[in-house]
């Protein structure tokens, strides 16, 4: 009899643990409020290739400035750049090296965080291998 009781208690405890893990995994991400100051087209075409469509985003949240590169996935047709409006209020979150914007349809637009650098005394923004000058 005691073994049956221990098994039932173990199953009940395991069930509670699984419910807690499921609920925490489905938690809504927390967004910050900011202003999308500028969206600049950084698209380019390389000889012999289809080219790349990308946009440099400049976001300000209080005294913090963030730069991120939104690269359009042409293969899957996920160009959501029409939802990026300069000088507009936005919601965003940062996770690792990525910045996610909450779009008007409540879906996320994923972009890669960039870093500010100085090259030959000039301010620039470095996004992977790409460097953008005059990014203010």
pLDDT for 135: 57
pLDDT for 75: 66
Residue scoring higher pLDDT (83 or 117) = 117
CA–CA dist 55, 84 (Å, integer): 9
Whether the full predicted model's pTM is greater than 0.75, yes or no, is: no
CA–CA dist 110, 102 (Å, integer): 9
Q: What is the pLDDT confidence band of residue 112, given thresholds at 50, 70 and 90?
A: very high
Q: What is the pLDDT confidence band of residue 132, given thresholds at 50, 70 and 90?
A: confident
pLDDT for 22: 58
Q: Using one digit for the tens of pLDDT, what is the confidence trace for 40-98?
A: 998 877 666 666 888 999 999 999 999 999 988 766 667 788 888 999 999 999 999 99
Q: Among 65, 70, 128, 64, which residue's Cα sits nearest to residue 99? A: 70
- Mean pLDDT (whole number) for 26-40: 86
- Mean pLDDT (whole number) for 111-131: 90
CA–CA dist 30, 100 (Å, integer): 11
């Amino acid at each position: 009899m005691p073994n049956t009781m221990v098994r039932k208690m173990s199953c009940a405890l395991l069930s509670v643990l699984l419910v807690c893990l499921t609920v925490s995994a489905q938690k809504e991400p927390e967004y910050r409020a900011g202003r999308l100051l500028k969206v600049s087209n950084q698209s380019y075409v390389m000889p012999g290739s289809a080219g790349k469509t990308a946009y440099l985003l400049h976001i300000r949240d209080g005294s913090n400035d963030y730069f991120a590169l939104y690269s359009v996935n042409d293969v899957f047709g996920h160009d959501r750049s029409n939802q990026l409006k300069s000088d507009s209020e936005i919601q965003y979150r940062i996770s690792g090296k990525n910045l996610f914007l909450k779009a008007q349809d409540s879906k996320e637009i994923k972009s890669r965080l960039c870093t500010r650098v100085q090259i030959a005394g000039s301010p620039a923004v470095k996004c992977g291998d790409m460097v953008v000058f005059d990014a203010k």
